[in-house]
Amino acid sequence: MADQQGTSGAPVDEKTVRERVEELLAQLTPAEKAGQLTQYFYFGALGVEMADGTPSQAGLVEAALSRGEAGSLLFVTDPAEINRLQRLTVEGHRFGIPALFGFDVIHGLRTILPVPIALAASWDPATIEAGQAVAAREARAVGLHWAFAPMVDIARDPRWGRIIEGAGEDPFLGAAVAAAQVRGFQGPELGTPERVIAGPKHFAGYGYALGGRDYDESNISDADLWNVVFPPFRAALEAGAGNVMTAYMDLNGVPAAGNHWLFTEILRETFGFTGFVVSDANAVKDLLTHGFARDLTDAGARALSVGVDMEMAIADPAYGHLTEALETGEVSTESLDASVRRVLEAKVRLGLLDDPYIDEERAAVVLADPAHREVARTAAERAAVLLRNEGGLLPLDADRLGSVAVVGPLADSPRDTLGPWVFDYDLDETVTVLAGLRARLGEGVDVGFAPGVRPGQRLFPSLFDQFPGNTPVDPEGFDDAVQLQRAVDLAAGSDLAVVVVGEWQHMIGENASRSSLDLPAGQLELLQAVVATGTPVVLVLLNGRPLDLRWAVEHVPAILDVWYPGSQGGTAVSNLLLGDVSPGGKLPFTWPRTVGQVPMIYGHTASHDPHKQAQRYWDEESTPLFPFGHGLSYASFAYADLRLDQDVVEPEETLTASVRVTNTGDREADEVVQLYLHQRYGTASRPVRELKGFRRVMLAAGESQTMEFSVGPEHRRYWNAAARDFVLDASTFDVWVGGDCTASLGTTFEVR
């Protein structure tokens, strides 16, 4: 590994890193070593002592810190509190070893970016990297060293709530997004100033939860593991990720946190990962719940032995029993030292042994940086996907609008504009869709608002509902019939209605799987009532997964998916609706018509009777509502002259495909050019199409550009279940290039 940069910007000498780590390691007691491998949640607001005099969870954690028996904390973001706890850690340790502070910096800390599935919809690695660099800068400024992100799980069942945290269904797109996020969080090397440790998760297969039910088991074939699940992880590791997090669930009957094959044979030996592994919350203790370990000592010993270096725990960690396991021989000194070594190396590379504290005054300056909000706004604009625009209703012409009705309870909800998985936000500076439109249209246009329906609620509360503001509150005296009629009257008396619908943010994310994809809480009825007025309607979606829009597609001319757009969401949405910028995002998943179709992916095999693929169900088309890669623009694009520089190649050779793309519209706009491959025959059935290249390009009106893509052996190689290995087949390959996975411009080449 090349020389790396510490927090001061000075190169970190590899020999010095190793020497410092070995010197410390040689002096640590077994209890101190176990402490370095233990990460605690810290709920400081609960105090350090309970009413009956017993220590609280915070008190137990602080006691462990003062004994040098805790190596990391999470869930603290106040700079002064981080400094206090760090001082307690340093002064409580014989050798002054500081703690790593981590936090779920999923899509921003104070400046909230669009949710990760939205970032993926930008199909723009540069935008993704810039956004996560802002998140990292804010996190590091307050004293955090580590983001438990990115989540790189491939998700093909939208009932699974955590689809919102990933990049969708495709491993090629997922790999590109994973690498961009790692570069944004961590920079070129671990220890880059103003960056944090990137921790791709959850290794591995979490996105395949049975029935889309969070935490349920995953049963995945080797072919899917190697061809679909592993590529984004591998890309994240190749980008330099310093940490990997385990998954919660059973993978093919073996709990991920106790899976030797996953963490030793695959992660360490095959992928060559040299960083440290952390369990997900209580995942080591859950080896008991799985019926895998006999007790906490056994759980800790088995997790450590397979390569889980650090345990994330709330209280009574299994790794607190490692000294017992060492004495009984269940854990070897070599295994214990190997894990401690990896954790200490991360601390040395971050410069924590030399400078463990942060400048509290500077933190406030960094968090308030207006440049961060501009990055968030740009990301929200580039992530939006225009699903439908019949009759060219969008972009709106402000000069022709005298009044606009903004309808729907999500239209003016700052908390829901941000989306889930944020904790340190500022609602006062969050721009809602309503606020953005009022600011953009000014006093010359009357912008009215009516929620129409009350906030939606869950049957079973989320584990995150305990946090203030995460559960929507029903307004006092809300009369359903009166409010619905008020929304209808407002729309009927306006020139245009902007109806904002979707899921409340607590309805998606972790512990937020659904059995339905319907619009919740009467929003469909609200939409239908507004459309019935005859006023032109623009539908704006706040979501993190596909929803059932069959009625909307038949009756609403314009549909814009803005996801959960973040701190500057309302500004971005108004800029998009009014045409200050053209939508250019594309779907990172196949959008089903109904929940009965899921999982539905574009990259399926032909199987039997392929000409009836659209008739697999007798009661409804088994085709998507919107295909993978779909997204419209305010311009239009033409593809021509698809050429290959070679028609025949050897298995290890690379060819170049080129295509001319022309903006045939009357305004500047972005297009995401996508290249798909299909192998016609070989030693296994291959998907009918696979994404193998993409590039987002801005073209002026009438401008043409020739785009080139390399198609090499890495794009044709795949894991073959019969050969039990990767293969390169001799075959005929189809190539298509276009604006989504249904691209029709194609050609072929031969691999000898």
Catalytically active residues, by annotation: 280
Look up residue 220 and give its amino acid. Answer: I
Do the beta carbons of residue 292 and residue 302 sit within 8 Å? yes
What is the residue whose two structure tokens read 């307050």? Answer: 142
- Write a three-state SS string for 177-197: HHHHHHHHHHCCCCCCCCCCE
The rounded radius of gyration (Å) of the Cα atoms in the chain is: 26
Query: SS3 for 140?
Result: helix
Query: SS3 for 726?
Result: strand
Torsion angle (degrees, nearest 10) of CA 324, 329, 333, 338: -90
Q: Which pair of structure tokens corresponds to residue 207?
A: 């996105």
- ω into 30 cis (within 30 of 0): no
Do the beta carbons of residue 205 and residue 225 sit within 8 Å? yes
Query: SS3 for 696?
Result: strand
Of 418, 378, 375, the C-alpha closest to 670 is: 378
- ω into 193 cis (within 30 of 0): no
Query: SS3 for 131?
Result: helix
**Dihedral sign of CA atoms 249, 250, 252, 256 in order:** positive
d(CA 681, CA 102) in angstroms, rounded, equals 48
Of 305, 546, 564, the C-alpha closest to 413 is: 564
What is the residue whose two structure tokens read 């004495």? Answer: 327
Please report the DSSP string for 400-453 in residue order: G-SEEEEESGGGG-HHHHH-SS--S--GGG---HHHHHHHHH-TTSEEEEE--S
In 432-544 the beta strands, taken as DSSP E runs, fall at: 446-450, 496-502, 537-542
Do the beta carbons of residue 335 and residue 325 sit within 8 Å? no
Do the beta carbons of residue 191 and residue 13 sit within 8 Å? no
Please report the DSSP string for 301-349 in residue order: HHHHHHT--BEEESSS-GGGGHHHHHHHTSS-HHHHHHHHHHHHHHHHH
Helix, strand, coil in percent for the chain, rounding step 5: 35, 20, 45
Main-chain phi, psi angles of 380, to 5 degrees:
-65, -40
Of 495, 482, 489, the C-alpha closest to 530 is: 489
d(CA 275, CA 340) in angstroms, rounded, equals 11
Do the beta carbons of residue 174 and residue 168 sit within 8 Å? yes
Instruction: Enter the DSSP assignment of 122.
Output: T
Of 247, 264, 248, 246, the C-alpha closest to 307 is: 264
Torsion angle (degrees, nearest 10) of CA 530, 532, 533, 534: 110
